[in-house]
Amino acid sequence: MLTTRFAPSPTGFLHIGGLRTALYSYLYARKNGGKFLLRIEDTDLKRNSQEATIAIREAFNWCGLDYDGEVEYQSKRFDIYKKYIDQLLKDGKAYKCYTTQEELAQMRAEAEANKQRPKYDGRYRDFTGTPPQGIEPVIRIKAPLDGVIEFTDGVKGYIKFNCEDILDDFIIARSDGSPTYNFCVVIDDALMGVTHIIRGDDHLSNTPKQIILYEALGFKIPEFFHVAMINGSDGAKLSKRHGATDVMEYKNMGYLPEALLNFLVRLGWSHGDDEIFSMHQMLELFDPYNLSKSASTYNPSKLEWLNAHYIKTLPFERLADDMLYFGLDFRAINKGQMLLDLLRERSKTLLELKASALAIINQPTNYDQNAVKKFINDDNKLLLSEFANSLGNANMDAKAVEEMTNEFLTQKGKKLKDLAQPIRIAITGSAVSPSIFEVIEFIGLDELKSRIQNFLKSL
């Protein structure tokens, strides 16, 4: 069965680059009726954070990426790793190395002096003497001394590494017995049945080491897909200065998970000139063999555009649920669906949607002074006062309000431009809002009259 996985380290928040990798892995598994696994690589006990583990799972829940089975934790699998380390030692494919830190430092200094890559010299590779006293050994794999490691990457194509150039007998277990990253990854992926590994191309240098371990242990080598990085607009690796990198920060900024996933799937993959993809369409169309070899560029404007699209198109019930996170319950507001539908066309984020809603729900206590200077004069102050006095008490829909307003303006020999902005400022405190007639339908004529009177008193 086709099986993919996402395996983050719980040393911080879930980076959006990590979420993209998880999304690609999820889509490929689900499209093929396979399994998608979540594994927490928490063997670095000094740097692990329980809060980070919770944050990773929280981000998955928010984005709707479900995984198969239970979450696997490497920290609970040390007995398994020890079993395979002992097996490699027994088979003569690994060995105990007693080289001291001082000796390693000397090797490094000599290599640098000779302008060579620092490399362990293999002095304990075939050691049969008496081990030195007082030194806890590390365990090293017997890596090939010559030849090539080659494989076909699903993204980058054929790749070849010369063993003598890049490899030495790398450590698979530290002196305290704890296994190293590459060793744990191979054991876990093999035992969990992972068939396809999609990950960032910063892991490409790990691949030859892992292939050596797969072969030493007799495990089947999975297919690899090394995805190009996400860069900022300046071409540098994506960082905080380019925008948020924590997945959950996007939720707090008012982005929808559909928009974020749609945005991320396009950072490295495309289908013609299409920009908008539902989860159903992603599952139908995504193919990791079509991932771009080139780095993609983070464009916050594109994310805003996508978010605005989903705010416009998602059902009321769904948006109402999401707005509860920001402390606004549209279901509890009289004509709440009308208000949300009125605002969704002009909102890029849920925070903007909330701010616009509160500007209409609540009587303004402050008024944009630039708008007041630009649009308010003695003539339209009088016109606004007369308009308020002409209002009845029966509430009307937007069309009826527009007809009533036009009749009033005809009687006064005025045009809508003479009254529209003063009304808008009076009812929202700003010169920017949806259609004033729809806003008036929402707040009602009594409230309109009250807001106009309060505005005129403030002048």
**Whole-number CA gyration radius for the chain:** 32
Q: What share of the chain is helix, strand, coil (3-state, %, to 5)?
A: 50, 10, 35
In order of 61, 119, 227, 230, the CA distances from 285 in angstroms are 23, 45, 18, 21
Annotation-wise, does 240 bind a ligand?
yes
- Residue carrying the six token digits 């494989």: 151
Q: Distance between CA 384 and CA 374 in Å, rounded? A: 15
Helical pair 436-443 and 420-428, crossing angle rounded to 10 deg: 40
Q: Distance between CA 343 and CA 356 in Å, rounded? A: 7
Cβ neighbourhood burial of 130 (10 Å; 0-12, 13-18, 19+): exposed
DSSP letters, 319-357, are HHHHHHTTT--GGGSTTHHHHHHHHHTT-SSHHHHHHHH
Which alpha helices (DSSP H) does 128-192 contain, by range?
163-166, 181-191
How many Å from the N-terminal Cα to the C-terminal Cα in the chain? 73
Buried b (16+ CB within 10 A) or exposed e, 195-209: bbbbbbbebbeebbb
In order of 18, 202, 264, 277, the CA distances from 230 in angstroms are 10, 11, 10, 20
CA angle 260, 263, 265 (to 5 degrees): 105
Q: Distance between CA 180 and CA 242 in Å, rounded? A: 33
Bridge partner list, 140: 95, 171
Instruction: Copy the structure tokens of residue 365.
Output: 């206590």
Q: Distance between CA 120 and CA 143 in Å, rounded? A: 11
Residues at the binding site are 240
Q: Which residues are annotated as a binding site for ATP?
A: 240
